[in-house]
Chain A
């Protein structure tokens, strides 16, 4: 294609955004609304997932050290535990510390006045990277020399994993449904926009315009509108997220939940919004005009 023609087609595409101003506005609005609904939902489920993970990480394995080992020897086990697969961190707790934390859990300290540290054992708190592999890791810890007994609350971790799986499945399903609905709505908006231009397309064809000549301005228009929708959606999403984050921080919820900072989500979100906007804009418009090219 000649340069003159390429410039003309790009110019035509950009110009038609303005000559069909209302339809352009409607398209951007629809893309915007669909992206925002999906975006808010996706961010919500990411935060739920994050908070469940936070809770999970507090679910540690207790590894009791053999009573016959000296304090020195007991402490020496730590590095060996740390090298185990799936172990995030270990924390050594002496029998004295264990007793104190045990007693402090109860109001009535008198009741335990005759307790001695000897009743307790030196122990390690072992934190895991992946809770779903708790059982194998527990077995690994049991193999470590000097570890007498391991206590892991498999039921609790299974519960967490179940909750997280359910949340993941539900949110992926909902996002997919929203995605399909969005595509459908956008497709129809674009169809409407092209319908108003079928006359123009028919005239161009009568003068001898090939399909590319008609399609390219459309695709460029879709591309610009899609990108515009994506960028505006991103900016609005940022605003909404900031407002909600501040609200939560100021409320009593702040104690219980941790909101992911927007910075960590920013680039993936922008990428997804831009990508979806572009995809819908270009593919949507080229599919929509297919029917009118057959004259």
Chain B
């Protein structure tokens, strides 16, 4: 569950990236977060993961109160999340397999669990046969899929994806959306940040539109009508 109420956040450089912003996402929902470049989408994700802190307002994620959370409790929060970052954030000297497996080591999974789960997830995102490659030996789309596999591997209760289709061709993009959809149907909450109108409109899901750090519209129906993007 995600709850933001009257959240404001200003970067040191002076940008008001979030401006009295409120939104609620219930467990099991599938939500698209759209908006122009620079409207504050990535900032919201950073607020949800505790990477940056809000200046005012309430933020609650999976039962953790981000206003009062202590730094040493951040790992516990992050383990309930599967985040797919806009810039992938893969570890450059670890192979595809290791990049995914280390997320399971983080939560203390057994060797047996890791050996079963990692190949399964890699196959799910279509990366079988690439296990031993390093990130720089992969295409952009393949790197993105490693990031997706890592986000999925621990079966988090909330998946947050920042432009997960940014480097994928239309067929792959649709495939990934269907995968996220399937995961959502199995009970995982999904929040997808995207620019791609067609993709959003192909699904009949809730769409939250951001404008200059504020929620400009929030509605179900899969319509994303802002021209600027």
Which of A's residues lie within 8 Å of B, judged by CB? 1-2, 4-5, 8, 19-20, 199-200, 202-211, 213, 294-295
Complex: A209 Cα to B109 Cα, angstroms: 13
B15 to chain A, nearest CB (A): 20
Interface residues in B16-32 by Cβ distance below 8 A to A read: none
| B79: Cβ under 8 A from any A Cβ | yes
| B75: Cβ under 8 A from any A Cβ | yes
Complex: A213 Cα to B109 Cα, angstroms: 13
A13 to chain B, nearest CB (A): 13
A4-B109, A203-B91, A208-B75 given; 10 more Cβ-contact pairs under 8 Å: A4-B108, A5-B105, A205-B74, A207-B78, A207-B102, A207-B106, A207-B150, A208-B77, A208-B106, A209-B106
Chain A residues within an 8 Å CB radius of B89: 202-203, 206
Complex: A4 Cα to B75 Cα, angstroms: 19
- CB closest chain-A residue, reference B73: A210
Interface bin, chain B: 20 to 34
Instruction: Give chain A's interface secondary structure class.
Output: helix
Chain A residues within an 8 Å CB radius of B114: 4
Interface residues in B88-104 by Cβ distance below 8 A to A read: 89-93, 102-103
Q: Which of B75, B81, B102 contacts A210 (CB 8 A)?
A: B75
A206 near B109 with CB under 8 A, answer no
With contacts A4-B111, A295-B51 known, is A204 near B71, CB below 8 A?
no
- CB closest chain-B residue, reference A203: B89
Chain B residues within an 8 Å CB radius of A19: 93
| B110: Cβ under 8 A from any A Cβ | yes
Chain B residues within an 8 Å CB radius of A199: 92
Chain A residues within an 8 Å CB radius of B150: 207
Complex: A205 Cα to B49 Cα, angstroms: 10
| B69: Cβ under 8 A from any A Cβ | no
A-B contact pairs, 7 of them (CB 8 A): A4-B108, A20-B93, A206-B49, A206-B83, A208-B107, A210-B72, A210-B75
B114 to chain A, nearest CB (A): 8
| B224: Cβ under 8 A from any A Cβ | no
With contacts A4-B110, A5-B108 known, is A209 near B75, CB below 8 A?
yes
Complex: A202 Cα to B74 Cα, angstroms: 13
Chain B residues within an 8 Å CB radius of A208: 75-79, 81, 103, 106-107
Chain A residues within an 8 Å CB radius of B90: 203
| Contact bitstring B120-139, A, C-beta under 8 A = 1, else 0 | 00000000000000000000
Q: Which of B78, B92, B93 contacts A206 (CB 8 A)?
A: B78
B121 to chain A, nearest CB (A): 14
